[in-house]
Amino acid sequence: MNIEEINHLAKLSGLELDPHQTKQVSKELENILNLVAELQSIDTTGVEPLFHPIALIEQLSQALRVDIVSEDNNRTNNMLSAPVSHKGLYLVPKVIE
């Protein structure tokens, strides 16, 4: 992967890599991709993906929750670890639309 691709990948991943790291990471990713390249050569025609392992043996259906309000106001506890907050709002650097 070239520098541009790595930087784009980093951006999509919400990560920042400095130039030195980029080289190192590029190499490591290269190795991992070589490891997984083997997958391409397997013929999977007619095979359905197995997203949930137990779906192999039984049909799995999403359970439905009854529509009632079951959560109380627990804001104080929920916001115990808020890095920056003000009047019950989480603060972040201004979002420009």
By CB under 8 A, is residue 20 in contact with other proteins?
Answer: no
Binding flag, residue 28, other proteins (CB under 8 A): yes
Query: Does 4 contact other proteins by CB under 8 A?
Result: no
For residues 31 and 37, what is the distance between their CA atoms, to the nearest angstrom? 10
Q: How far apart are CA 30 and CA 36, in angstroms?
A: 10
Q: What does the alpha-carbon distance between residue 69 and residue 71 come to, in Å, rounded to a whole number?
A: 6
3-state secondary structure of 27: helix
SS3 39: helix
Minimal distance in Å, beta carbon 4 to other proteins?
A: 14
Shortest Å, Cβ 9 to other proteins: 6
Q: Which residues within the stretch 52-71 sit at the binding site for other proteins (CB under 8 A)?
A: 52-54, 56-57, 59-71
Do the beta carbons of residue 23 and residue 30 sit within 8 Å? no
Q: Which residues bind other proteins (CB under 8 A)?
A: 9-17, 25, 28-29, 31-33, 35-40, 42, 44, 47-54, 56-57, 59-71, 73-75, 77-84, 86-97
